[in-house]
Structure 1
């Protein structure tokens, strides 16, 4: 296929680009001029300078494509308006550009479990559940999905909703591995809090299925296996892989909230992004972040193939080999 990836220099985007190149597909990447492209090093791709907030650059980028994988977005911003401008309205810009290009290319949008919000401890989210995001990022991802699917009578559109993703190159879970490397195991009061975790290559595999199968059109799919872990278990597996003995630090919820608020004050005053913030604290204190992959298995015959325990081990080894720990 002739594919365009927005957000190709990110963690998931780079793994998707590698998979497309391995299949000998034609790959173009929409990148901002200031983007760090080290994750794409050595890959044969066409670089297109642009931004999802720049309609003119999008119109040039989507022309002649078979599939547009829309992954670009922001995970951190100071205001709700900024999340909406990039994540939601950026998706509208992509859809409008694709319509102007003829409306024949398929759009595969990367949504997020964050749009659904926390689940209950005993019931994973299913795709039919209404959105109940816990913060602005999740709200903007939910709006992006609503916008994309509003075009389904004019564009071939489908959506993947990953939960927390693991794998070499991931920054989102790095903080927990850094703590473990220092011999610290955080235990937050009020647990356990189950999580759905998924390997980055399983997310890529489902995105490639969504790019091809007619049954995927007009639909959204979680990508999830049957196994749920807790943050405590993630830390324990990481510690064993790194050969580290940890001491447990018990952290009451009110202490975590206070530390997160203080960290946000420091970030606002200095511009330095700290590992802890109020968004992360709310995520950690939620009763559960779980979702079901039953719909993808039922409609597409897709199940994640990678054991998340092995994904944690693989991440830990990679962090250590790269000197990130």
Structure 2
């Protein structure tokens, strides 16, 4: 029987991945920090084991019998590069070290981000065949995490999945965009010409992860892996709405008239610096840097050719389902 270890299992994507793994007949074990809320995982029947990857390696006992490792744990936002590295790089390196020490190491599906790939030029759609060029501290930390896991590609099968903007039922981050539109009909945009986005519905992302575990290509050996092409999948829909258009789509799903309120790029940069200085949390200069690039449009034909993946619905319908969930949960 397949037995999966999931890191980051208490998060938005991780919990839904655990549900899917269980329904597919996997036994599921999850690493959790002492401060994590494990209630939902326990109700699902997931075995939880204490492990903070930023400071320790999983033990041989925790990895005993594991056939697949889904590595989702990571820090998604911080203005501090070293703090990002402590989780996204050191945590990944600790996992890699533990897996590489096993006599029969499991297959690893490492969940990264398109931030590791970096943005493209205007009117350009990038793919996984292009060399990564991250522009943000977050993107650099995610790329360094990929390098840490790629270092053991000669010991076991390693595949990397780089999702775009993940949305869907269970996503609380998306509320930061939806709430102002629902309440006052305003969508703040950094700049007047916002970049095309790569987005992926959470259920489709989980499907891609499951397919990668079953039939995905693996990275070349550690000495030849250059983190592009074979063994790397960009999880993104073929539709690329701009950030402005994304707000319009949310407004349409809410049946709410939406007004885009552009902020001059230099003003946006100042706002990011001020927010960072006062410790606002998710808004800081690194996020403004990502928002002001020409394009985040990606498309990966390998999703279909290698994995046989097809999206479950249009992005419009998927976004409507997300808004319906927000309303059902009385968040809007």
Asked if Structure 1 and Structure 2 have the same fold, meaning a TM-score greater than 0.5 normalized by the shorter chain, the answer is yes
Please state if 1:304 is matched with 2:311.
Answer: yes
Residues 243-276 of structure 1 deviation map (CA, whole Å, 9 limit, x = unaligned): 3223332322122222222211221xxxx52x53
Deviation of the 1:172 alpha carbon: 3.1
What TM-score do the two structures reach when normalised by structure 2?
Answer: 0.90
Deviation of the 1:235 alpha carbon: 1.2
Moved over 6 A (4+): none
Please state if 1:124 is matched with 2:125.
Answer: yes
Distance 1:55 1:224 in 2: 32
**Residues 224 and 304 of structure 1 are in contact (CA less than 8 Å); yes or no, is this contact kept in structure 2?**
no
**Residues 57 and 95 of structure 2 are in contact (CA less than 8 Å); yes or no, is this contact kept in structure 1?**
no
| Corresponding residue SS for 1:179 | helix
What TM-score do the two structures reach when normalised by structure 1?
Answer: 0.91
Which residue does the alignment assign to 1:207? 209
Change (3 A) 1:57 1:286: same
**Residues 60 and 98 of structure 2 are in contact (CA less than 8 Å); yes or no, is this contact kept in structure 1?**
yes
Which residue does the alignment assign to 2:177? 176
Which residue does the alignment assign to 1:189? 191
| Corresponding residue SS for 2:48 | strand
Q: Choose which of 242, 246, 270 in structure 2 pairs with 1:234.
A: 246
Please state if 1:264 is matched with 2:299.
Answer: no
| Corresponding residue SS for 2:198 | strand
Structure 1: tracts of 5 or more residues without a match: none
Distance 1:256 1:322 in 2: 32
Please state if 1:225 is matched with 2:237.
Answer: yes
**Residues 193 and 230 of structure 1 are in contact (CA less than 8 Å); yes or no, is this contact kept in structure 2?**
yes
Q: Choose which of 246, 249, 262 in structure 2 pairs with 1:250.
A: 262
Which residue does the alignment assign to 1:82? 83
Change (3 A) 1:58 1:7: farther
Q: Choose which of 299, 307, 331 in structure 2 pairs with 1:324.
A: 331
Distance 1:92 1:265 in 2: 30
Residue-pair matches, total: 320
Deviation of the 1:190 alpha carbon: 3.4
Which residue does the alignment assign to 1:111? 112
Distance 1:256 1:151 in 2: 41
| Corresponding residue SS for 1:104 | coil
C-alpha RMSD of the superposition:
1.9
| Corresponding residue SS for 2:109 | strand
Deviation of the 1:55 alpha carbon: 3.4
Change (3 A) 1:238 1:39: farther
Which residue does the alignment assign to 2:283? 276
Higher mean C-alpha displacement, 126-135 vs 35-44: 35-44
| Corresponding residue SS for 1:300 | coil
Distance 1:158 1:186 in 2: 37
Please state if 1:294 is matched with 2:301.
Answer: yes
